């Protein structure tokens, strides 16, 4: 095999053979193919795509590049959830303990945020004492004991994807449905879960702004799951408006606890219950009634506290707070008609809640609180958003990001349910 021949094949619009795909990914993972050659192939895939056979082989080769976690001994049905990312998306925090409280084992191996979308591990790092670094043996032991874990994926899971993901980020080759689908599913399949529910976001604050693209991505991932023996369902959910009222790290942890205590925002609670329902259905452990009962009865909250303690955190410790706060007032009276998720997400990022590069630090207390949501009546000068940061020099750039993110009008916008559709196998 020769890397240039593989690149030329895809560049000229021809399908790659299974042998070409397996060789290229193995050689790149081992360091025998240079970054510039992998970047050239990725760009050819962005332009030419991968057919269903190529995508299946590409994903299988990425899984085969490393180890696969063995969860057969945890003693419970295993199911996980993955979100394609959004603004204020703290769903994993209440969802994981909720589904575990209903009898499943949830191996949530998560990542950190980049740009305007927050990462689950960044949020949990705001909890004093929390540790996300578990060995595979520790992960399995914790799943067996309490039924849930939220931790960083180890370097041994799909290392080909780890290298390609970093390369795509700096070569303008992120926007490709086959590359996105294979990246997500290779990691989740290598994780060893029996079932998976995907939360595919649609809207300005999501990776996929248009529903047609999000649906194509969801369908591709559901098919990949089925091909690899993982029962997979995809939920299409809205991300044109921030999810909930808190966007940041510590502020989102606090809102997740509100959900578990039965006083969280309606959209966060509803999406948590929808995803829990699908996860329980895939494992045969029930449905919405069981999820609602575990939430209302406090079992999910108890499991959250148990999860924190298991990973070194004190569930009663105060969360970090930012040193500086500033409010953004309503420009006029009427009804809030628009609150753009992307603008709010960029503002939170500029305040210090996110990172531009993987090695950048994040501020635990930074973020944005949405004091009003679309449909709420507002008066001129009323606080709409609260900006929080540890560095007051960040307030100006955050305000700039919000310049076109807010609109007030005479009539409320039509209500939109948070869930658009559910794609089941």
Active site residues: 82, 161, 168, 183, 187
Residues 6+ apart with CB under 8 A from 396: none
Tell me, rounded to whole angstroms, the distance of Cα 204 from its chain centroid: 15
Tokens 């992307």 label which residue? 342
Question: Residue 423 and residue 425: Cα distance in Å, rounded?
Answer: 7
CA proximity to 417, closest of 271, 290, 277 = 271
The CB-side HSE value for 29 (13 A sphere, CA atoms) comes to 20
Phi, psi at 387, each rounded to 5°: -95, 135
CA proximity to 332, closest of 409, 225, 415 = 409
Is 143:76 a contact under the CB 8 Å cutoff?
yes
**Furthest-apart CA pair in the chain: how many Å?**
68
Residue 79 structure tokens: 């199911």
Question: Residue 264 and residue 257: Cα distance in Å, rounded?
Answer: 8
The CB-side HSE value for 187 (13 A sphere, CA atoms) comes to 25
DSSP β-bridge partners for residue 150: 108
Q: What is the CA radius of gyration of the chain?
A: 21
User: Residue 67, class by beta-carbon neighbours within 10 Å (0-12 exposed, 13-18 middle, 19+ buried)?
Assistant: middle
């Amino acid at each position: 095999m020769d890397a240039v021949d593989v690149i030329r094949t895809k560049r000229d619009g021809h399908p790659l053979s299974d042998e070409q795909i397996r060789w290229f990914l193995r050689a790149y993972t081992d360091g025998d193919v240079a970054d510039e050659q992998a970047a050239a192939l990725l760009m050819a895939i962005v332009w030419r795509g991968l057919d269903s056979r190529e995508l299946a082989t590409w994903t299988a080769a990425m899984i085969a590049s490393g180890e696969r976690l063995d969860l057969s001994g945890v003693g419970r049905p295993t199911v996980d959830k993955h979100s394609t990312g959004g603004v204020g998306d703290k769903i994993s925090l209440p969802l994981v303990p909720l589904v575990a409280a209903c009898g499943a084992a949830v191996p949530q191996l998560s990542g950190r945020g980049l740009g305007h979308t927050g990462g689950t591990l960044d949020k949990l790092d705001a909890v004093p004492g929390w540790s996300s670094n578990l060995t595979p043996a520790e992960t399995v032991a914790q799943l067996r004991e309490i039924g849930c874990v939220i931790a960083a994926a180890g370097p041994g899971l799909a290392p080909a994807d780890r290298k390609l993901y970093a390369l795509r980020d700096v070569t303008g080759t992120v926007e490709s449905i086959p590359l996105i689908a294979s990246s997500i599913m290779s990691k989740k399949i290598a994780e060893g879960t029996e079932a998976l529910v995907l939360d595919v976001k649609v809207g300005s604050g999501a990776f996929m702004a248009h529903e047609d693209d999000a649906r194509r991505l969801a369908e591709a991932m559901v098919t990949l799951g089925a091909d690899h023996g993982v029962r997979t369902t995809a939920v299409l959910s809205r991300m044109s408006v921030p999810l909930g009222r808190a966007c940041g790290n510590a502020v989102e942890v606090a809102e997740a606890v509100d959900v578990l205590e039965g006083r969280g925002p309606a959209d966060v609670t509803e999406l948590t219950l929808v995803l829990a329902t699908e996860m329980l259905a895939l494992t045969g452990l029930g449905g919405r009634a069981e999820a609602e009962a575990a939430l209302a009865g406090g079992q999910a909250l108890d499991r959250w506290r148990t999860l924190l303690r298991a990973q070194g955190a004190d569930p009663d410790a105060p969360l970090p707070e930012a040193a500086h706060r500033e409010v953004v007032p309503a420009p006029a009276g009427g009804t809030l008609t628009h609150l753009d998720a992307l603008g709010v997400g960029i503002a939170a990022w500029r305040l210090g809640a996110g990172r531009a590069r993987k090695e950048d630090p994040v501020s635990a207390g930074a973020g944005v609180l949405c004091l009003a949501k679309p449909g709420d009546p507002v008066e001129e000068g009323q606080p709409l958003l609260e900006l929080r940061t540890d560095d007051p020099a960040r307030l100006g750039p955050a305000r700039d990001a919000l310049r076109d993110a807010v609109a007030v009008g005479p009539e409320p916008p039509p209500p939109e349910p948070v869930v658009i559709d559910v794609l089941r196998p």
